[in-house]
Structures are given as structure tokens and as C-alpha cells.
Structure 1
């Protein structure tokens, strides 16, 4: 067992940093408007480009994970392993359900004609947390750490935790610009990340 990082593990950290940086830059509303005004790039084309770049960079990380030697930092026996499987499974389920109100084709930029602006989603998982997709990813990564107990799993989780405040900040800013007072009221009613039964939104499942 050891906590020092190998060269491959350091490269994994840098790869996650690059992935999250690219994700934040490409998700910027200012960049979208600049490219649309200066170069005439449509939202559909930009979304397709964004999805392609994200997929390629994430695939690169996936390949690194396959070749990253497992280094145990704690034994995965008993309750930690069971909790890990539970959290990872719950995260997958929540991740799938968080896409319930989202068009996958439009999300990836594949729709030929984007749908008109929809109402702010406040039902289902969005009545419990404003960012169910991020929360689902957190559970998956945390569960993976509990199951594997490896340095690689810890790196994935820590990099995600460091990125979450940044990703949430830009997402909140974009949503506030798009939905105005409706989203600001939603922010008051629903927790930003961890679900809170006491502070639950007005629209239940």
C-alpha cells in the first residue's frame, strides 16, 4: 500500500484537469455567443462539436484507466464494499433518471431542429437537488472507491470534488441568465447539491 503518486497517476490527474477545463471553457455562454456572432456557428453545430471533443477526451481518460496499475490504499471488505456497490448503483439509477426530461439528441447536438426553449425543470430529481447529474457522478465515483479501494479511484473522486464548485458555478450562471427570476426562486427552494428532505422543491415525483 502507498499514497505517493506514480507517473501514470500524475498523468491521470493532469488528464482530469484538462478534461474539466475543456468542459468548462466549451460550456461558457460567452464563448458560444462569440463564435455565433463572429463565425456564424449555430448552436446545433457548437453542441455537436462540444459533444465530440468531450467524448474524445473522456475516451482518452478511459484508456488510461484500463492501463493504470491498481494500487490499494485500503482493503475493500465488509461494509465499505457493500456501501460502495450500493452508492455506485444508486448513482447510475439517478444519472439515468436525471435525463428523463432531456432530449438526448438535442443534448448531443444531433437534432436537425432544436426544440424551443422549455420550461424550467423542477420535478422529479430536480425537486430534490439542482444538479442531479453531478450528484449521480459523485455517488458513482464514491462507490467505485469503496469497491476498489485503489489510488486511481481516489484520484477520480478527488478531481471530481475539486471540479464540482467550478462546474456548478458556471451551470448556475447559465441557468440564471436563461430563466431569470424563476431560477432564482428555484435556487431558494431546492438545495444546490446534496438533497435535503426539509428543503424540497414545490413539485414532487
Structure 2
């Protein structure tokens, strides 16, 4: 268990520190700006690969669904989580998120546009649909072991802390525009009456 916690800790520290604006400014002294994002994704992928490679399973059962309906429901929620996660990356900019757009823009001599605040589809209901997808995927399982539970609990804690850090950066970047968005849209769980209304969509 200690090794598993250390592996998750290594990933969360890397993922959080490299995502902060202060680190990005420091890192830009050593790598060209157009590869900063792709480098971040590469290092994150290596940290994940290390976690998967060295993970120590703890097979003690916490729960095991037996009824076919329950198994199908949990499997459905699991795949729904992955769908929400992947779809949410495309709703913003999948290739920019993985650092490819920046590299291609440099290769073809195109200017990279300034970041603009957008809240399409899922983002109108929840501010962090990617993280929501992750939570659905890590918790929805017909067979929950102690090792899986450890991973799910630590991942959930990391997401909740990471959201606070990310939103602080987003407020600095977009100011009142993001503050207004945060007041209207729920953080992770879609709630009745919580939906972002873009002022540009309001007709006079």
C-alpha cells in the first residue's frame, strides 16, 4: 500500500506542479513555448506508465455486484465516464489540450490564437466535466478491491484539490468572466437550476 500511495503521490505532484503558471514561466526558460504543453503531456504519460507498471494490487474485496442488472448499470456508468471525459476534450480543443496544435502552428508558421473563455455543452452544466468523467470511471465498478478503493479515494481527493488550484489560475486568466461562470455552473455534479448562460447568447 505504501508503494501505491507513493506512486499516486508522484503522479499528483508532477501533474499539479507542472500545470501551475509559475512553473510554466520557469519551464519556458528551458523549452520553447510551443512544446511546453506537449512536454507536460509527455511527462504526465510517463508518470502514469510508472504508476501502472509498479502498482501493487490489493485484491481484498470491498464489494462485488452479483445481480446482472447491477453489473450492467455499473459498467454503463464506467463507459459513460470515459465518454464524458473524451468528449469534453473535443468540446474545447482536444489537440491543443495535448499540445499538438501549438507544435503544428509553429511548423506551419501560423500564429497561435489567444486563449478565449468558452463553455460549450457539458461545460454549461458543470465546470469540470473531464474530472467528472474520471470520477465516474474510477468509482463505477462491479468489483471493488481495496487496491481499487485506495486509487479511487486518492484520485478523488486529488481532483478536489486540483480543481481549487485550477480555478485560481482560471480566475487570474479570465477574471470576472470566470467568476460569473463559477456562480452559475455547478463544479462537478449537474444540479437543477445550475446552468451557465453566456451573455452572448442572450437576445435583447
What TM-score, normalized by structure 2, do the two folds share?
Answer: 0.84
Candidates 46, 52, 58, aligned match of 1:62: 52
What is the CA–CA distance in structure 2 between the aligned matches of 1:13 and 1:74, rounded to whole Å?
A: 21
CA-CA distance at 1:136 after TM superposition: 0.4
8 Å contact from structure 1 (residues 91, 140) kept in 2: yes
CA deviations on 1:68-91 (whole Å, 9 max, x unpaired) are: 253322232126533321220110
Correspondence 1:11 to 2:3: yes
CA deviations on 1:116-150 (whole Å, 9 max, x unpaired) are: 12431222000010000001000000113xx2221
Q: Which runs of 5+ in 1 are unaligned?
A: 1-8
What is the CA–CA distance in structure 1 between the aligned matches of 2:32 and 2:175, rounded to whole Å?
A: 23
What TM-score, normalized by structure 1, do the two folds share?
Answer: 0.84
CA-CA distance at 1:165 after TM superposition: 2.1
Correspondence 1:121 to 2:118: yes
Candidates 170, 194, 204, aligned match of 1:175: 170
* The 10-residue stretch of structure 1 (157-166 or 112-121) with the greater mean CA deviation from structure 2: 112-121
Candidates 184, 199, 204, aligned match of 2:194: 199
* Number of aligned residue pairs: 191
Q: How does 1:16-27 map to 2 (within 5 A)?
A: 16-27=8-19
8 Å contact from structure 1 (residues 128, 197) kept in 2: no
User: Residue 80 of structure 2 aligns with which residue?
Assistant: 90
8 Å contact from structure 1 (residues 97, 125) kept in 2: no
2:42 alignment partner, SS class: helix
Q: Which runs of 5+ in 2 are unaligned?
A: 106-110
User: Residue 62 of structure 2 aligns with which residue?
Assistant: 73
CA-CA distance at 1:11 after TM superposition: 1.2
Q: How does 1:103-122 map to 2 (within 5 A)?
A: 103-111=93-101, 112=103, 113=105, 115-122=112-119
What is the CA–CA distance in structure 2 between the aligned matches of 1:172 and 1:106, rounded to whole Å?
A: 19
8 Å contact from structure 2 (residues 138, 152) kept in 1: yes
**RMSD across aligned C-alpha pairs, in angstroms?**
2.1
User: Residue 4 of structure 1 aligns with which residue?
Assistant: none
